[in-house]
Chain A
Amino acid sequence: MSQKQRRAPKQTPGAARPASGNASTSSSSTVASNASESESGWFGQMVSNEPTQQGVKDGVSRPDTGVRTGTPGAAIDESGAEIALYTTFESETPESTLKSGTAVKVVDKREGWFKIEYRDKEASTSGWIESDYFSNQPSLGMDEELDSKVFDDYTWEKFEGDQTTEDLAANQVEQGALGDCFFIASMNAIGSANPDFLEESIRYDAETETYSVRFFEGEYGSPEEVWIDVDAYLPTTKDGSTAYAASANDGSKWGPIVEKAYAKFKGGYQVLGEGGTGSVAMAELTGNRSRSKNPSSMSEEDVIPYFQKAKEDGLAIYAGVINSTAMASVNPFSGDGKGRFKATLPKTHDWNEIQHGTVEIEHEDDGGKTAFENGKDGDKEAPLLGTQVEDGTVVYAKNSVEVTYDEEVDDASKLQVDYEAHGVVLPSKMLIGNHAYSFTDVVDGDKLQFYNPWGSYQPKAITAAEFLGYFDSLATNQVPKGKTGDGS
């Protein structure tokens, strides 16, 4: 273990000892406003006759830097040495060390010192580091299982040298462990239309070892160019590979760097992980407004000519697949009486799960014994409801259904279960639901080839009818043709 030499403690005269406790990632409270009751404070919080501004102060003094509490980043020592960690900023000796590259968040500060929070396995813990070791980096994505930031799974590692390549050929970027298929597919769509434009959008400064990536923002329709600077540190997994995007073909890291710059542009990886819109992302990358078209407004004979013309016109083409598909009705139960009827509903693909809120049961003969569920996305299970239902549950990930009625059932094999499934919505063509793709070309004269931003599980070419049947969004963007990005 190595660590930097302890520097002289820096203290602000009169500064209080750092407060203990962890900060939450956001401030939550209840608010109500009612002009007639505001003086007494309806619910007692955040109520005023005068307009007030929330969020511009956080109660923490910031004497020395612009870094505010809540700022995400990493504890980094350029030499890779471990970083001294103190229980308080007044401690004379460090109590422990922190691995360089650890993802952290600033939760308190004093002159020259940051109290940082980080995750150690499942526990959130904190300590003080000298502020020089704090590197402002985009916040990481969310761990869906733990509903918290992924602090311990990934570390920030530096990738030396110019990671841009001479030829940013189409479809070089793969999506990683982040739900930003909309952005990766947008990037690939633009790369497919004009890789030169992407190449012009990334600049590397060898002296500072930083990258500048171009985006556009501002009033819709009249955007301004914004260059976002990022350093060469990227979130990596324990095996050293990039955690989020990866470059598919040549091992360079230009894709992850553009993704990092986009995360910084939008406010963090977790912002990207919430999902986004391909039409907006493409506009932010090219400065040109996207056009949306709903596939349901197209006829089958429109489809192939539409894609051929869009390709000829140099448009980036982005498309999204429907959420779920209706399954054939099944009769999975057997027996009779008041017994608890249990079944596992068939899957059309190993990855598929029951779509929330879609399970309905009804007896074929008399239409009775109706049961239904109202599960929402994110629920692991939901109760089955119905006037004749005594008890029942749907467990989504297991595709299992259990139901007990308060009356006897004659021949449970006539209980028909209708449901939808999400996951792979068209297994024969490897199309994934609720997922974004970039269009690459018309093949064999009458089929459409899309590219999966995963970089794997690539779909087979589909017919016009399949496109209309399984895609529910389509957006195009005119990628500037000139290498300088000023000609269109």
Chain B
Amino acid sequence: MSVRVSTEDNLHRALAKGGEITLLAGVHTGSFEAATDVVITGEEGAVLDANGRGSVLLVQEDNLTVVVEGVTLRGGHAELGAGVCVVANSQVTLRKCRIEDNRPVQLRAGGVGVAAGNVTLEQCELGEGDDIWVLAHGHLSLIHTKLPGQVAVVEGATATIEGSSVGKLRLRGSPRATPTATVIRSGIAEVDNDEAMPGNLIIG
């Protein structure tokens, strides 16, 4: 199924059905949840704006394939992943997206939060405060992506950073788990590897 949507209500309905969605240019306000396999392609100027209310995009169902391309995601406010929050064993890909002006509760994950599943950001740009947190058993791939803030890989999470620029890479394990970050052809301004619970940093 392929639909073009221009309003928030239509987008909610289209997300419930899944398939291919073309998001028309303009600001679409709300917090959206992907509950089935879906590909969202934004026209130039397509914006999803949570307007300070929850995550812009939430994925909490297992075994989904979710692709978002050419969309700006902004205005989120959430405890984990104000921009994009993935807490299920699903595949989520953001391609050529901007993730900006999302605000975390306390210190964590204004931009993207990954507690499970595989999340790939390809050719994306994130705002200064839009950090990424990968925790528990989540996996993150940053490919040709610009992240001026930090990516935190904690607990048993893993991350692959390839061809990207990152302001800060933070690694912190837990007493029973060690995170791993693999860095390939990337520039990272600062690495903060916890002294008491360090992670594995693999330079490839």
The reply to whether B203 and A52 form a contact with Cβ atoms under 8 Å apart is yes
The reply to whether A292 and B193 form a contact with Cβ atoms under 8 Å apart is no
Q: Which of B127-180 contact A (CB under 8 A)?
A: 128-129, 135-137, 155, 169, 171-177
Given known pairs A33-B204, A274-B108, A280-B115, the reply for A294 and B58 (CB within 8 Å) is yes
Indicate if A69 sits at the interface (CB-CB under 8 A).
Answer: yes
B175 CB contact (under 8 Å) in A28, A267, A436: A267
How many chain B residues touch A (Cβ–Cβ < 8 Å)? 68
Indicate if B184 sits at the interface (CB-CB under 8 A).
Answer: yes
In the complex, chain A residues whose CB is within 8 Å of the CB of B107: 274-275
The reply to whether A72 and B199 form a contact with Cβ atoms under 8 Å apart is no
Indicate if A295 sits at the interface (CB-CB under 8 A).
Answer: yes
Indicate if A457 sits at the interface (CB-CB under 8 A).
Answer: no
Mostly, the B contact residues are loop
* Docked pose: A59 CA to B1 CA in angstroms: 59
CB 8 Å contact bits of A162-188 with B (1 = contact, 0 = none) = 000000000000000001001000000
Indicate if A313 sits at the interface (CB-CB under 8 A).
Answer: no
The reply to whether A295 and B204 form a contact with Cβ atoms under 8 Å apart is no
The reply to whether A473 and B54 form a contact with Cβ atoms under 8 Å apart is yes
| Chain A residues with a Cβ under 8 A of chain B | 23-35, 38, 46-48, 51-56, 58, 68-72, 139, 179, 182, 217-221, 226, 264-268, 271, 274-280, 291-292, 294-297, 320, 322-324, 376-377, 434, 436, 472-473
* Docked pose: A120 CA to B122 CA in angstroms: 49
The reply to whether A53 and B190 form a contact with Cβ atoms under 8 Å apart is no
* Docked pose: A274 CA to B108 CA in angstroms: 7
B116 CB, min distance to chain A CBs, angstroms = 4
Most buried by A among B12, B87, B199, B200: B87
A55 CB contact (under 8 Å) in B31, B80, B171: B171
B204 CB, min distance to chain A CBs, angstroms = 6
Given known pairs A32-B186, A221-B62, A280-B115, the reply for A267 and B197 (CB within 8 Å) is yes
18 cross-chain CB contacts under 8 A = A28-B190, A30-B188, A30-B189, A31-B188, A51-B202, A71-B196, A72-B196, A220-B87, A220-B116, A267-B196, A276-B106, A280-B136, A295-B53, A295-B54, A296-B53, A297-B12, A323-B77, A472-B53
Which residue of B has the minimal Cβ distance to A291?
A: B60
In the complex, chain A residues whose CB is within 8 Å of the CB of B202: 51-53
Indicate if B94 sits at the interface (CB-CB under 8 A).
Answer: no
Given known pairs A280-B115, A472-B77, the reply for A53 and B200 (CB within 8 Å) is yes
Closest 3 CB pairs of A and B: A275-B106, A55-B198, A70-B195
The reply to whether B201 and A53 form a contact with Cβ atoms under 8 Å apart is yes
* Docked pose: A220 CA to B89 CA in angstroms: 7
Given known pairs A32-B187, A179-B106, the reply for A48 and B89 (CB within 8 Å) is no
B145 CB, min distance to chain A CBs, angstroms = 15
In the complex, chain B residues whose CB is within 8 Å of the CB of A27: 191-193, 195, 198
In the complex, chain A residues whose CB is within 8 Å of the CB of B53: 294-296, 322, 472
Q: A220-B136, A277-B108 are in contact. List 17 more A-B contacts (CB 8 A).
A: A24-B195, A32-B188, A51-B203, A55-B193, A70-B196, A71-B196, A182-B105, A221-B89, A265-B175, A274-B107, A275-B79, A291-B60, A294-B33, A295-B54, A297-B30, A376-B129, A434-B106
In the complex, chain B residues whose CB is within 8 Å of the CB of A271: 172, 174
In the complex, chain A residues whose CB is within 8 Å of the CB of B196: 25, 68, 70-72, 139, 267-268
The reply to whether B87 and A279 form a contact with Cβ atoms under 8 Å apart is yes
Q: Which of B55-104 contact A (CB under 8 A)?
A: 55, 58, 60, 62, 77-80, 85, 87-89, 103-104
In the complex, chain A residues whose CB is within 8 Å of the CB of B192: 26-28
CB 8 Å contact bits of B10-35 with A (1 = contact, 0 = none) = 00100000000000000000110100
A53 CB, min distance to chain B CBs, angstroms = 5
B190 CB contact (under 8 Å) in A30, A52, A278: A30
